[in-house]
Structure 1
């Protein structure tokens, strides 16, 4: 991704932080810290390396391995050797045996007369249950590092651990600015790949907006061409990114992987997930669902309604991982023996029905970004509604709050088919389901890939309307 599509804003943020360090050269505490988090393979390390290189400031890029404390400290010495900090040799030759000592040497190696950058990647590998590393980092920052003109960038893929690093009561609380790097949004994906609005959503659902996968998608190519090429290459980013991320996130948690696979196959309820995961008991299933939710790998959702409900549903949060778990993970043996054509045939056969549900979270996110507009009010909560028996399902419910609302603001239906517009039958079904949810005549909304073919809607949105939610 040579032009670094979609990361201009993030680069500008880091530039500003480094500018503040340089502006504070004469102050007592010019140092600043940024805590950057984001899912694996969204390009965090690449972003920061790009920033550091183009800044012209001397920098050290350190990547923890998590192998052992000794190995991580040795890695620091190795990374110092390839650094362009003027006194990096101090760190390379000192070979410190503790993080206390390592931070002391690092502070001595930092220039005092110009801004520098120190990057620590995969920080959660260094964190421990007792908080010892966090305490060491806090002491080093307060005592030495913050007194140097340095921009310290802490990077991590474990979202919950990175959030904890800056949470109240933890040693490093309020010592850094939090920054989140998400995947490329659908507008950025479409712009990068030269696709129309509808195709941009398809590409976003397949790639999840992960830059490495998008980089393999030929400019202007259709979904079929991209998948055909990717499935014929066993080491393509599309095939290997998920397995590498899962191996890093869940090295020992076999049950959590089984539960994730069950959800990825399409199961959404506690009972069905337990059955699909091999008859898992309630307690181990709760534990696995807790791990997956904490790591933001799955989303656990309740229906948005004025009445409370315990009918929780689960879905894979990342579109790419959702696609991989449904179509690619189970077919890896087939693909590795050169029969990716069979996998592609299965994707084509199931694509329309899978996409219809997979696109719904993106639709709700787009509406949350777009509203208010001339037709609909802003909705602090946009979710969905369902009953335990699924006799009533509403794709879009806008409310003043969720999941238990005081006021419902609109309801809507998503029809995401190639050549079939939203018609009067779809509208009649939406009215029927609205009546089961509320007696109030709240506005009705259609979101359709192929337009609308009926009267009586309060608002309608197509792919181009939704894509405008993300300024490219």
Structure 2
């Protein structure tokens, strides 16, 4: 892995928890490969810290392994030789080493203890309440299985509910940092790499030494022996029981069915039968439900659309899953030909919209506009779509944006079309200030650039 990139806010939060007086208990969780262990390792440096990785073995096997780790950490030969039947003795021994600065304990893949013994969260709750809570100690409980971590540590029914002093749900790294991962790549290449790896550190690492995006895809995804070939199946089978049902739903959405009614029709199911699956996929950060950004009551909106919220999963279900038979029969070349024919228009162009929205927030932070906005997203009705709409909910200013990831330059006609679509948006229609921004990967025509010089309500971004 290259130098540790991003995660500044998370490290700052962990440091604040570490410096707080007394004990602290932090839940650190998120999907596999997202970089939880690397974050914990970075934070542990130069601290009196013990790291323990829980395995899928029995509770007894994990307890014995933890006993050995604590014995080595405390240099306690007596504990090493002892047969221990409960966790409290081990934690008491661990605390005997306390006294010279705060102790840090990281229990990685914590959910496996609860999986092997459903009563373990109660056991740890007692240890926290009677031992750890009163000491100068910081405990980080890490986990990769989101549903298990939430049920065992965060939910109201968990014995540990109310004990934590903080939590981090680790997310993908934003596109903003991709030039640090791939300093030799141009912006177009960075967008293509992001469109596949989606900000997941482990995936990014696999793509480091590839000459271009297609060789990276061929080597790291299309090869049946590759790490990412069956990654979605591996991710889901650890979280859900009916993997096939979830695969069918994600495939239907990847094919362009975003409305609930269309997803149900594609699967020949009733809409009510999809609710629990969609909720689970949203909880796992695989899906998101979007509504037009100007909707006053998003939860009640009937215009909600379901989109895949993970670039790699979107790529895999668009290009790999439909072509598994080809790949399995050894015809990777034909699968790659299909990917090359549709990769930019059917995949990267959509990801580019997300990147432009991210850029909007960055520009907002840098005070690019004569006002600041607090809402940004897509807008649509039955007839029209606008890639970006941003507005100040307490004021009268609104920005309309278009994102073009195509070979040619963007001209005046695109601005004119955007202005026409903006007239349809009802938000404070009779009393607002309209602004416009165009994003284009290949730049703009001279005519458009000259026009923009005469206006103070239009921005261009390449």
Give yes or no for TM over 0.5.
Answer: yes
CA distance in 1, matches of 2:410, 2:134: 62
CA distance in 1, matches of 2:54, 2:234: 17
Is there any run of 5+ residues in structure 2 with no aligned partner, and where? none
Asked if 1:296 corresponds to 2:289, the answer is no
Give TM-score scaled by structure 2 length.
0.83
- Can you list the C-alpha shifts for 1:233-286, whole angstroms capped at 9, x where unaligned? 32333324333212212233542332122112332111221122x212222111
Asked if 1:218 corresponds to 2:208, the answer is yes
1:210–1:235 distance in 2 versus 1, CA, 3 Å: farther
Corresponding position of 1:75: 62
Measured after TM superposition, the shift of residue 447 of structure 1 is: 1.6
Corresponding position of 2:246: 256
CA distance in 2, matches of 1:140, 1:461: 58
Corresponding position of 1:345: 337
Corresponding position of 2:24: 32
Contact 1:376 1:459 in 2 (8 A): no
Q: Match for 2:323 among 324, 331, 334?
A: 331
Please give the secondary structure, in 1, of the residue aligned with 2:48. coil
Spell out the pairing of 1:447-458 with structure 2 (5 A cutoff).
447-453=439-445, 454=448, 455-456=451-452, 458=457
Spell out the pairing of 1:308-319 with structure 2 (5 A cutoff).
309-319=301-311
Asked if 1:429 corresponds to 2:417, the answer is yes
CA distance in 2, matches of 1:434, 1:155: 46
- Can you list the C-alpha shifts for 1:414-470, whole angstroms capped at 9, x where unaligned? 1122x322212211221121111134552111122122332357343535xxxxxxx
Spell out the pairing of 1:54-453 with structure 2 (5 A cutoff).
54-55=45-46, 57-65=48-56, 71-82=58-69, 84-86=72-74, 87=76, 90=79, 93-96=82-85, 101-110=86-95, 111-114=97-100, 115-126=102-113, 133-159=120-146, 162=149, 165-166=153-154, 171-173=160-162, 175-194=164-183, 195-219=185-209, 221-231=211-221, 233-276=223-266, 278-305=267-294, 309-353=301-345, 354-371=347-364, 373-375=367-369, 377-388=371-382, 391-401=383-393, 409-417=398-406, 419-438=407-426, 439=429, 440=432, 442-453=434-445
1:92–1:434 distance in 2 versus 1, CA, 3 Å: farther
- Can you list the C-alpha shifts for 1:277-327, whole angstroms capped at 9, x where unaligned? x21222211121122122222100111236664111011111121111211
CA distance in 1, matches of 2:368, 2:8: 30
Is there any run of 5+ residues in structure 1 with no aligned partner, and where? 25-29, 464-472
Task: Identify which range, 132-141 or 407-416, moves more after superposition.
Answer: 132-141
CA distance in 2, matches of 1:383, 1:409: 12
1:205–1:213 distance in 2 versus 1, CA, 3 Å: same
* RMSD of aligned Cα (Å): 3.2
The size of the alignment, in residue pairs, is 438
Please give the secondary structure, in 1, of the residue aligned with 2:206. coil
1:212–1:175 distance in 2 versus 1, CA, 3 Å: closer
1:187–1:148 distance in 2 versus 1, CA, 3 Å: same
- Can you list the C-alpha shifts for 1:91-134, whole angstroms capped at 9, x where unaligned? 885453xxxx3245323333223443322223344558x99544
